[in-house]
Amino acid sequence: MLAMPGFTRDDQGRPRIGLNPESLYAYGHLIRLTEQLILDQFSRGLVSGTTHTCLGQEIAAISVVRAMDHSEDAVLSNHRNHGHFLTYSGDFLGLAAEIMGREAGVCRGRGGSQHLAWKHFHSNGVQAGMTGISAGLALARKKSGSGGLVAAMIGDGTLGQGLLYESMNLASVWQVPLLVVVENNGIAQT
């Protein structure tokens, strides 16, 4: 993990981000700088494949993910996952290494920008791809009694995908601990 001045972890291993506006802004700015660096490296051809940033969504990511209990709650994210991941893990260097295909990456350089997995954080680049998995994971947690919330982070473009509605319907019928967070970023191509 990257050691930065003023950057510590709480007893659950979460990045210690104050809930006051100044702390949220500072961490959001750090995420934005990271995203801008990734875009710069992508434009120079140093990043293979594709990359999708969360520019403009930094505070939404921090607000939801920061409030979760990282020892048991799960975050299942989408292709614009960097802000969610950074708020969950605080591993800026691990993310950068992953996106550049390096062994030091959080998935040993194999997941790239869109497919990250670390502890209770998982992401996938397919629109609505994690919503069915989110509902299933929430059901498994309910049946096992292990507890914890499952948050499915989606963009507004995912509202055009049938799997989302099927997943929410089943989650409602099963009465599982699933939170679906829609980030209305205005980027949808649907």
| Residue in the structure block whose two tokens are 């614009």 | 80
**What per-residue confidence (pLDDT) applies to 14?**
63
Using CA atoms, how far residue 126 sits from 28, 131, 148, 153, 160, in Å, is 25, 10, 25, 12, 13
30: phi then psi, degrees, rounded to nearest 5: -65, -40
The count of C-alpha atoms lying within 13 angstroms of the C-alpha of 144, restricted to the half-sphere facing its C-beta, is 9
Would 45 be classed as within a structural domain? yes
> What's the pLDDT tens digit per position in 129-186?
999 999 999 999 999 999 999 999 999 989 989 999 999 999 999 999 999 999 988 8
Would 5 be classed as within a structural domain? no
CATH number at residue 81: 3.40.50.970
Would 120 be classed as within a structural domain? yes
The answer, yes or no, to whether residue 98 has pLDDT greater than 90, is yes
**What per-residue confidence (pLDDT) applies to 13?**
63
Indicate whether this model's pTM tops 0.85. Answer: yes
The answer to whether 40 and 106 are in contact (CB under 8 A) is no
- Residue 146's domain spans which residues? 21-183
Would 16 be classed as within a structural domain? no
Would 78 be classed as within a structural domain? yes
The answer to whether 19 and 66 are in contact (CB under 8 A) is yes
Would 14 be classed as within a structural domain? no
> What's the pLDDT tens digit per position in 26-61?
889 999 999 999 999 999 998 878 889 999 999 989
For residue 136, which amino acid is it? Answer: G
> CA 122, 47, 39, 78: dihedral to nearest 10 degrees?
-20
Would 164 be classed as within a structural domain? yes
How far is Cα of residue 166 from the mean position of the Cα atoms in its chain?
A: 22
Number of domains in the chain: 1
Would 3 be classed as within a structural domain? no
